[in-house]
Structure 1
């Protein structure tokens, strides 16, 4: 039996997520944008934890920092926190239903947003209220759709 790896799909999915993160939105609707990069980190760590490279995730966060024009290491640190929590709990999370995973994604993306806002506050640009957690809510709403789409892609391209 020949086993296909096709890991370029992982790179391609992160490239699409980075492009979606820099897609211009209005100032008011920018808070409603789901956090695609952390959601993909959560997905790939849950599905393939042994192949998840923390060095790759750190580099991905640095690329996101460069694309968004923020302090270098800001998103990288937040992604590392998300990846670490996912690596600690991936066995438990795989057994949860999709709706329970949605709550887990809400918590993890909220944690990502908290770390991100903490770094912003160190620079003197903190959010005035809890609106910075709105992307965690929209990410959780998009999680079932993202999970189903990525599962179909992963199975059809035999990503292992």
Structure 2
């Protein structure tokens, strides 16, 4: 292995790509607005677990990746993800000491921040406001946080990502 390439970089990238694939999985029309922000959840985990490797720049790129995947206004997810990455980088020491259920509450607030940024950008450019079900997406994401956390922590430990 080349010592210049940090170990486990492919695990982070693969998890973000897999999260992007979950974003484009077909769902019934009534459930689409409540789809969890998979890329944001994975990004929050990596920014909390490895703040020196996953930061605002990676969040920005992951947001551009999601914008391209879903065909949204280029940069709106990038802006929202960069914001929550910056916040989680400021809180990561505290977050790592919290039990998972308390982390889920913080994740809920951060996912609501993503929704607010997306709504603000869409309103600013004159796009229609999403239906009320879009407010369920952060709740569903926070409910999924324990599984996302344990799955990614297991992958990080298994593959020795540091």
Instruction: State whether TM-score is above 0.5.
Output: yes
Structure 2 residue aligned with 1:50: 52
User: Structure 1 residues 80 and 121 mapped into 2: Cα distance closer, same or farther (>3 Å)?
Assistant: same
**Bigger mean CA offset, 3-12 vs 102-111:** 3-12
1:75 correspondence with 2:67: no
For the Cα contact (< 8 Å) 2:57–2:82, is it kept in 1? no
Q: Could you state the TM-score of these two structures normalised by the residue count of structure 1? A: 0.92
For the Cα contact (< 8 Å) 2:61–2:78, is it kept in 1? yes
For the Cα contact (< 8 Å) 1:6–1:158, is it kept in 2? yes
For the Cα contact (< 8 Å) 2:33–2:130, is it kept in 1? no
Structure 2 residue aligned with 1:34: 36
For the Cα contact (< 8 Å) 1:82–1:111, is it kept in 2? yes
**C-alpha displacement at 1:100, in angstroms?**
0.2
1:45-91 Cα deviation digits (max 9, x unpaired): 11001112422221221111111111110100000111011011111
**C-alpha displacement at 1:129, in angstroms?**
5.9
Q: Could you state the TM-score of these two structures normalised by the residue count of structure 2? A: 0.91
**1:45-124 alignment runs, 5 A limit:** 45-124=47-126
**C-alpha displacement at 1:31, in angstroms?**
2.2
1:132 correspondence with 2:160: no
Inter-partner Cα distance in structure 2 for 1:102 and 1:155:
21
For the Cα contact (< 8 Å) 2:55–2:86, is it kept in 1? no
Report the number of matched residues: 158
For the Cα contact (< 8 Å) 2:81–2:114, is it kept in 1? yes
Inter-partner Cα distance in structure 1 for 2:160 and 2:130:
45
